[in-house]
Amino acid sequence: MEEMVYLVSRTGRELQRYSMGRRQVVGCIPYRYKNGNDGSINDELEVLVISSQKGQGLMFPKGGWELDESVEEAALRESLEEAGVVGNVECELGRWHFLSKSQGTFHEGYMFPLLVKEQLDLWPEKDVRQRFWMTMNEAREACRHWWMKEALDILLDRLSSPSRAEENVATSYL
């Protein structure tokens, strides 16, 4: 049975979660292991960054966490809507408080790794965003948000530390 993929992004703030006056947002760092020229998978990591809707720099998919979904469901939804990828949401990378320059309000942001299982050709924000696979270092340079760069460093540390491998067991929430 084929899974239904919605090709329209959620809009509006009626269901938006807030904590102590801060809008709660959830994001993912979509990643994969790069394929070799011979089709084999090697251990070189790539992460997916997307353009902002207003075209001001690159970032990881993120958006509002809504009342009718778990934090993991919100992470999956944002990755699908903004980047057109689905996969396994893994253990939370952390929580950050930051000022949204565009809205002048404080936000509470949660970031998760997303081990990409499928990249879609059609997704809700295909016409307003571009997506780019990059190395960790390229993504750190390109990403415009300090808190997302910190999350990327935590992910790199987690994935490169053998003692933490068992902590990073993927759970699929789709």
Query: What pLDDT digit, counting tens, does each position of 86-113 carry?
Result: 999 999 999 999 988 777 788 999 999 9
pLDDT at 4: 46
Of 150, 144, 143, 55, the C-alpha closest to 96 is 150
pTM: 0.82
Query: Could you tell me the domains of the chain?
Result: 18-161 (3.90.79.10)
Q: What is the pLDDT of residue 1?
A: 41
Q: Distance of CA 125 to CAs 79, 92, 99, 118, 154, Å?
A: 10, 25, 24, 16, 28
94: left (phi over 0), alpha (psi -120 to 50) or beta: left
